[in-house]
Structure 1
Amino acid sequence: MIEITTGTLEERIIKLLKKTYPISVDDIKNELNVSKDMILRTLKKFQMKGIVRLEPLSDKTYVRLLRHDFSFIGKKRQRKFIKHRTGKRQESNDYDGIMYS
């Protein structure tokens, strides 16, 4: 079981590789909006651990996920704040004011 910290670039790459296959390094770069150097550094680290295999072709480098036993560690958090509505308050119309007392 490979443990990966949530909220890191490694987690985002692994989840993207699980979701889409085949995928190239340029596709990962465009999807995650991260520089190609950071992605290649992370993928080479994964390749040394035996998690992925980089398959260079003439014009693109494809990434193949070799292992699927990942455990994501960290606090579960909500990325976007949810605004809760309280509902409209009803005004009472039976108050006549001080003028009519």
Structure 2
Amino acid sequence: MGLPSHGLRYASIHKDAASLATPPNLADYDAARAQFCWETARAKLTGLPNAGGALMQEASPEGWREFVAGATLARANADTLRVSRDAAAKAGKEQKCTIAVLAR
């Protein structure tokens, strides 16, 4: 049962699976939810292209968007960041740098 934004619970809608033209993919939501395990899901996705990204995107869409934005920013400024990292390592302290932010 999902919670609407105002906090009230909706009653579950129960249907007789035998009366449906197409059997449901998820016959027992409560049982599937109780048995779900992220480790098992990860194991099933291992080796698939972008499996980790798919899990991240599903678990936290906003976090995924922030991750992609950060990766895009880092990729676009890779040379500047590398020079700044080298300067910080050499100086033994934080270094400031200027990066370019791409227009959307």
Measured against the shorter chain, the TM-score band is under 0.3
- Higher strand fraction (1 or 2): 1
When normalised by structure 2's length, the TM-score is 0.19
The structure richer in helix per residue is 2
